[in-house]
Amino acid sequence: MKLSDLLGEAKIRSIHGPVDRLIRALRYDSRRVERDDVFFAWKGEKTDGHHYIAEVCDKGAAAVVLENPNYTGGRGSTFIEVASARRAMATMSAVFFGRPDRALKMVGVTGTNGKTTTAFILKHLLTEPKAPVGLIGTVRYEIGERILPASRTTPESLDLHGLLAQMKAGGCRAAVMEVSSHALEQGRVEPIAFQVGVFTNLTQDHLDYHESIENYFAAKTLLFTNLDRVENPGVAVINADDAYGVRLIALLKGRVRTIAYTLEGRAGSEIEARDFVSTANGTEGRLRIGKETHAFSLPLIGSFNVSNALAAAGGALALGIAPRVIVERLRQTPQVPGRLEKFVSADGVTAVVDYAHTDDAVRKALTVLRGITKGRLIAVLGCGGNRDAMKRPLMARASAECADYSIFTADNPRNENIELILNHMEAGVTERRFEGKYERLPDRRQAIAHALAVAKPGDMVCVAGKGHETTQEIAGQFHPFDDRLVVQEFLQRRGA
């Protein structure tokens, strides 16, 4: 493909050099650049890609797309100046891979909590024999039955469009993807015209990046304002029980078709769950979709998982799946890795591994578990380093209020001091009523082992924060660590 063919939709400020050049590949990692590649340079949070321009030019890069004109030079490459190299990469990547997004029904799921579970359920609801569905999200990427490890919730646009091209080639008819607020603000999902956008909820998170909850909400709304199109308009599926969901419904009124869902009987909702009851084995109740009401069974526990199932049902309904079929398929919903994933010892101690990493998610998970726990409820949780520090005391407080006993420990400390993180957490439980209700053990493995050692038959241990993750990041190094494997190891020791 020629460079000139890639530039049609990119917003270009200036071009220095020829555009009649054949392009072999697109790259944003300078280490992977080879002759006739295009390199995209932008200033990131940790490194500045402009510093590697001389290196990629020496390697024979055909072109460099950059934001800072001071790095433009006569080194044999064509220099293309843009306002946002990330956005330019998104539009150019889509063209380079032949716009695979146009061959797929694209569904984007966003929100603070519930994105992964909603996406997993929705993929399940949409999958038909001989018509696989792709999945892109926090846990993994799926191209039909083929599973790939996930590098991030929403990949860089170059990787994203490459995945979509593989889905198209693999016969997928749709792609369900989690869309993070970072990805929306950085333009990573451009120029995809989503057929469906799903909003689960919004609570405090990522304020280290967005700085305020209003900025965070504004980033989320970008997925939905994109649905307002003259040709091929999209459908919004929105949680009417969430305050920010109500605001989003009002924002889109008269502009975008909206399917609202509710657990609380909110007026105007198209999808509603009624009279549902959760046990240790799942949830049963009644589900209204439009004018039809059916008895439903969901092999997941907790009201928040019912809400996630309704979000998925809304996405399926928007894409033409009949209510009766939705209800039938919900009965066979698969377990989502690291989301209230349950393990039981031979002597009757239950442990649950969950990804809860906000105070709202911790509170909801522990409240659900409280309802099915015969004995004590013990929580093990930490907070990530180099992330929103303001939520740390809130998470600790949620744990101390909802569990009988809490153990504060490391999550992914990254480049922060673990003891400092634990101090931030402990600031949320300074009242006398929390005395004796928690302790701090910096080593996560030791914390899990201790919780499972002191638990008695009938007790429940919730290990929160990392869920499906298989590594722990400490001081820039990734160490093998899987909460699920550690839990199983120490539960088996109880049995022995």
pLDDT in tens, 473-490: 999 899 999 999 999 999
| pLDDT: which is higher, 130 or 12 | 12
Instruction: Tell me what pLDDT residue 153 has.
Output: 87
- Beta-bridge mates of residue 22: 2
**Does some domain include residue 277?**
yes
CATH code where residue 34 lies = 3.40.1390.10
Residue 324 DSSP label: H
- The band of 72, judged by pLDDT with boundaries at 50, 70 and 90, is confident
Of all residues in the chain, the percent with pLDDT exceeding 70 is 98
Domain shared by 321 and 399, yes or no: no
Say if 387 falls within a structural domain: yes
Least confident of 91-105, 196-210, 321-335, 430-444: 196-210
- Exposed (0-12), middle (13-18) or buried (19+): which is 266, by Cβ within 10 Å? middle
Q: What is the DSSP letter of 159?
A: H
Tell me, yes or no, whether 62 lies in a domain. Answer: yes
pLDDT tens, 136-172? 999 999 998 899 988 888 999 999 999 999 999 999 9
Q: Against a cut of 0.75, is the pTM above it?
A: yes
**Quick one: pLDDT band at residue 124, thresholds 50, 70, 90?**
very high
Is pLDDT at 205 greater than 80 in this prediction?
no
Mark whether 89 and 12 lie in a shared domain: yes
**Is 335 within the bounds of a domain?**
no
HSE (CB half, 13 Å, CA atoms) of 91? Answer: 15
Q: What is the pLDDT of residue 210?
A: 63
271 and 348 in a single domain? The answer is no
Residue 336 lies in a domain: no
- Asked if residue 124 and residue 189 are part of one domain, the reply reads yes
Asked whether residue 254 falls in the same domain as residue 112, the answer is yes
- Of 295, 310, 330, the residue at which a domain comes to its end is 330
311 and 380 inside one domain: no
Residues 254 and 152 in one domain: yes
Q: Please give the share of the chain, as a percent, with pLDDT higher than 90.
A: 90
Q: What is the pLDDT of residues 245-276, one digit of tens each?
A: 999 999 999 999 999 999 999 999 999 999 99
Beta strands in 28-114 (DSSP E): 37-40, 63-66, 78-82, 105-110
Is residue 496 pLDDT above 80, yes or no? no
Residue 9's domain spans which residues? 3-95
- Gap between the Cα atoms of 30 and 56, Å rounded: 6
Q: Are residues 141 and 85 in the same domain?
A: no
pLDDT in tens, 328-374: 999 999 999 999 999 999 999 999 999 999 999 999 999 999 999 99
Strands 292-298 and 460-464: unpaired
Mean pLDDT of 293-301: 96
pLDDT for the residue numbered 177: 97
* Type of residue found at 43: K
pLDDT digits (tens, 9 = 90+) for 379-392: 999 999 999 899 99
Tell me the pLDDT band of 207, cut-offs 50, 70 and 90: low
Grouping H, G, I as helix, E, B as strand and the rest as coil, residue 163 is: helix
47 and 110, same domain (yes or no): no
Question: Quick one: 203 and 141 in the same domain?
Answer: yes
Confidence of residue 281 (pLDDT cuts 50, 70, 90): confident
Q: For position 204, what pLDDT does the model report?
A: 67
- For 142, the enclosing helix (H) or strand (E) is strand 140-143
Residues 296 and 182 in one domain: yes
> At 41, is the secondary structure helix, strand, or coil?
coil
Choosing from 34, 64, 95, the residue where a domain stops is: 95
* pLDDT > 80? residue 73: no
- Print burial letters for 169-181: b (CB count within 10 Å at least 16), e (below 16): eeebbbbbbbbbb
- pLDDT in the model for residue 8: 85
Give the pLDDT of residue 208: 67
- Region 457-464 average pLDDT: 97
102 and 218, same domain (yes or no): yes
Kindly state whether residue 85 falls inside one of the protein's structural domains: yes
Which single residue is written with the structure tokens 């889509």?
Answer: 94
pLDDT of 74 above 70: no
CATH number of the CATH domain containing 361? 3.90.190.20
